Structure 1
Amino acid sequence: MSAVLNRLEVLPQSGWTGAEIVGVDLRDPLPQEHVETIKQAILKWKVVYFRDQFINHAQQIAFGRQFGQVTPGHPYEGDVAPKDYPEIHTVSPQAYEKRYGKNYIRRGSSNGPAWHADVTPLINPPAYSILRAEVVPAYSGDTQFTNVAAAYQGLSEPIRKLIDGLRAEHRFGANYNADRSDERIGDWVRNKPLASIHPVVRVHPESGERVIYVNPSFTRQIVDVSPRESRYLLDLLFDQIQQPEYTDRFRWRPGSVAFWDNRAVLHLAPRDFEHLQFDRVLHRITLVGDVPVGVDGRQSESIAGEPFLAA
């Protein structure tokens, strides 16, 4: 079924996650009813996709500003943002080499596949992320998304009650994703640590849904339990968020845009194209987020680092 408003259509892509939106041109300011339709689609499907949107950096930023304040591209990596566009974070093999050096190697993770929400070690992780494709491989390089509100509901009631009151440390450098370069990442982690304690179950500020708010890339440990208990619980939750029924897989084309709720969906960057030497260039912006709140009403606590505010 599709929802139609002024020729704008919302086309669901899987049972829980993802919808394509057609009938909109992101180069132009949107009418307010289209902004509201897109917001409601994201609230329901967690991530929405647009095709054939050949927009530039300035247009991507202007589109994002219709939904919130745009942050700098990354809390650490602003020094490699495109000239005059500090809000842009470029994702490409060349950008990684520029950030991390010629010896950059993407390492494996002890936590399994690197599902994540963007920069959750911040006290106020971004609310939304908007990623557009400039150059993509002829095949491979898809991004996967998983609905962590649905994943929470898929747990048994006793497990939901157990995790509702837990909190966990998120830290930049918690695993391999922050260890791409021994020297530069190590310097960032030592000299500018970034870490927060967030609820394991976050209450979404708009929908009121409870979501699993841990991820293999940045969650270091559950606090106030033993290391062994933490490992068991995190393994259980990491396995739950990866269950196929909660996921959607997005095939990129030039001009594709993905717009997701960073509070209710995790995404998984592809690894299947790295040995093929394909070009893959995408550009991301993020929107200012709020401080997470748990089921008990407690807000997250900052261990190190400043709030991530508008650029």
Structure 2
Amino acid sequence: MSAVLQALPSAVEVRPLSAHIGAEIHGVDLSRPLPPDQVAAIRAALLEWKVVFFRDQPLSHAQHVAFARQFGEPTIGHPVFGYEDNHPEIYSVGRNRKQVRFSGPALVRPWSGWHTDVTAAVNPPAASILRGVTIPPYSGDTQWTNLEVAYRELSAPLRGFVDGLRGLHRFAAPQGSTASSLFDDKVKRRPLLTEHPLVRVHPETGEKSLLVSPTFLQSIVGLAPRESQVLLELLFEHAIRPEFTVRFKWEPGSIAFWDNRATAHLAPQDIFATEFDRQLYRVTLGGVPPVGPDGRASVALEGDPITAARAEQD
């Protein structure tokens, strides 16, 4: 798409940020119900650009959830790690949430930390909506990558090979680190292990994308351990090539809304080199089990599907 600025219904403006992924949307007020043409315009921009951003939208928890409901059914905040009191749809993304789960120096590789949300479940969220509240003056940017472009940029023989493969996704401590008793207890209470296709077909657009979530994807079914390791490392490295990505600088009141079926993202690590606080909140929209090019859907090996927030019983 060559236009720098796209004019869409009801004064909605979509401003692309990179060649393959990411656009800012202006001209909407997310604190109120949106007219149908604005909902349609945002949905179209999301499918086109994979992640869309809004500025100056200081929403409450209730407004955040109400905005999300216009695009799908919110899930429970997190199927393993819970949700905010009195707001079952809201998951807290705070500065130190992972530091209380793991200890010790993890093995750091170029793809460390990149992930697609909750792929350990058989039905990962269709989309995620993250709201910035307490934002540091610098550091703390988030990055996303377009996994449809990553798939298309593989060589034809490799695309043909990965089209038929499947991988195992689970929650586990990063290699080299030790899980805390809190992490172990929560994972044991609600274990999740799923076999997903390595390539999924988008249920709305029909496009193929890599379903490679480095944080959760542990191995490839049917390959020898070394074969699995080498192929996964190649795919992880390829999926996060800089030209496939966009980087977003948060401000208070910023919203990021991404298609979890076609992206992976990276939470910032540089925040831990500062003393700044950072607090965001996430709502996820219910998804369906991914389906591969061969028509086979994902299979839950342990655990239940992610439920809608209103159906959750703790």
Q: TM-score range by the shorter chain?
A: over 0.9
- Residue 281 of structure 1 deviates from its aligned partner by 0.5
Kept in 2: contact 1:64–1:130 (CA 8 A)? yes
Equivalent runs, 1:57-72 vs 2, <5 Å: 57-72=61-76
Report the alpha carbon displacement of residue 84 of structure 1 after superposing the two structures with TM.
1.2
Counterpart of 2:230, as a letter, is: Y
Matching residue within 45, 50, 55 for 2:54: 50
Measure, in 2, the Cα distance between the counterparts of 1:20 and 1:218.
Answer: 29
Q: How far apart are 1:114 and its partner, in Å?
A: 1.2
Q: Is the 8 A contact 1:178 1:185 kept in 2?
A: no
Note closer, same or farther for the CA distance 1:304–1:288 as it changes in structure 2 (3 Å cut).
Answer: same
> How far off is 1:110 after superposition?
5.8
How far apart, CA to CA, are the structure 1 residues paired with 2:175 and 2:58?
30
Aligned with 1:249 (options 244, 247, 250): 247
Unaligned ranges ≥5, structure 2: 310-314
Q: Secondary structure at the match of 2:117?
A: coil
1:240 aligns with 2:243: no
Partner of 2:262: 264
Quick one: which amino acid aligns to residue 125 of structure 1? P
Shift, 1:151, TM fit: 0.5
Identity rate of aligned residues, in percent? Answer: 49
SS in 2 for 1:170: strand
2:103–2:180 contact (8 Å) kept in structure 1: no
By how many angstroms is 1:87 displaced? 1.0
1:120-168 CA distance string (max 9 Å, x none): 0101000000000001110010000000000000111000001000000
CA 1:107–1:145 in 2, change beyond 3 Å: closer, same or farther?
farther
Structure 1 residues 277 and 106, CA, compared in 2 at 3 Å: closer, same or farther? farther
The separation in 2 between residues aligned to 1:71 and 1:178, in whole angstroms, is 32
Matched with 2:198 is 200
- Aligned residue runs from structure 1 range 11-90, under 5 A: 11-78=15-82, 81-90=83-92
**Count of residues in correspondence between the two structures:** 304
Per the TM alignment, residue 192 of structure 1 is displaced from its structure 2 partner at its CA by 2.8
1:135 counterpart letter in structure 2 = T
Looking at structure 2, the residues matched to 6 and 107 of structure 1 have their Cα atoms a distance apart, in angstroms, of 51
Task: Report the aligned-residue RMSD.
Answer: 1.8
Are positions 1:91 and 2:93 aligned together?
yes
Distance in 2 (CA, whole Å) between partners of 1:94 and 1:166 is 36
Look up the SS of the partner of 1:176 in the other structure. Answer: coil
1:216 aligns with 2:204: no
What's the secondary structure of 1:185's corresponding residue?
helix
Q: Report SS of the residue matched to 2:92.
A: strand
Q: 1:139 to 1:177 in 2, by over 3 A?
A: farther
Give the conservation status (yes or no) of the 8 Å contact 1:114–1:177. no
Query: Which SS does the other structure have where 2:148 is aligned?
Result: helix
> Match for residue 134 of structure 1?
133
Structure 1 gaps of 5+ residues are: none
Question: For 2:97 and 2:113, how far apart are their aligned partners in 1?
Answer: 19
1:115 paired with 2:114, answer yes
The equivalent position to 1:6 in structure 2, one of 2, 6, 10, is 10
| Structure 1 residue matching 2:115: 3-state secondary structure | coil
Matches within 5 A, 1:121-160: 121-160=120-159
User: What residue identity is the alignment partner of 1:133?
Assistant: G
Q: SS of the residue aligned with 1:273?
A: helix
Q: How has the CA–CA distance of structure 1 residues 74 and 107 changed in structure 2, closer, same or farther, with 3 Å as cutoff?
A: farther
> What CA distance in whole angstroms lies between the structure 1 residues aligned with 2:271 and 2:26?
28
- Closer/same/farther in 2, CA of residues 271 and 22 from structure 1, 3 Å limit: same
TM (norm. structure 2) is 0.93
Structure 1 consecutive aligned stretches of length 4 or more whose deviation exceeds 6 Å:
177-180
Residues 123 and 307, structure 1, Cα contact 8 Å, conserved in 2:
yes
Retained in 1: the 8 A contact 2:77–2:84? no
* Partner secondary structure for residue 6 of structure 1: helix
User: Which amino acid counterpart does residue 6 of structure 2 have in structure 1?
Assistant: A
Please tell me the residue identity of whatever aligns with 2:33: P
Q: Give, in angstroms, the shift of residue 191 of structure 1.
A: 4.0
Greater shift in the superposed pair: 144-153 or 111-120: 111-120
CA contact (8 A) 2:107 2:176 kept: no
Q: Give 3-state SS (helix, strand or coil) of 1:130's partner.
A: strand
Q: TM-score, normalised by structure 1?
A: 0.94
Are 2:193 and 2:302, in contact at CA under 8 Å, matched by a contact in 1?
A: yes
Give the match for residue 228 of structure 1. Answer: 226
Instruction: Compute the displacement of 1:216 (Å).
Output: 1.0
Report the residue type matching 1:118 in the other structure: D
Aligned to 1:166: 165
Matches of 1:278 and 1:180 in 2, distance apart?
A: 25
Comparing 175-184 with 141-150, greater Cα deviation is found at 175-184
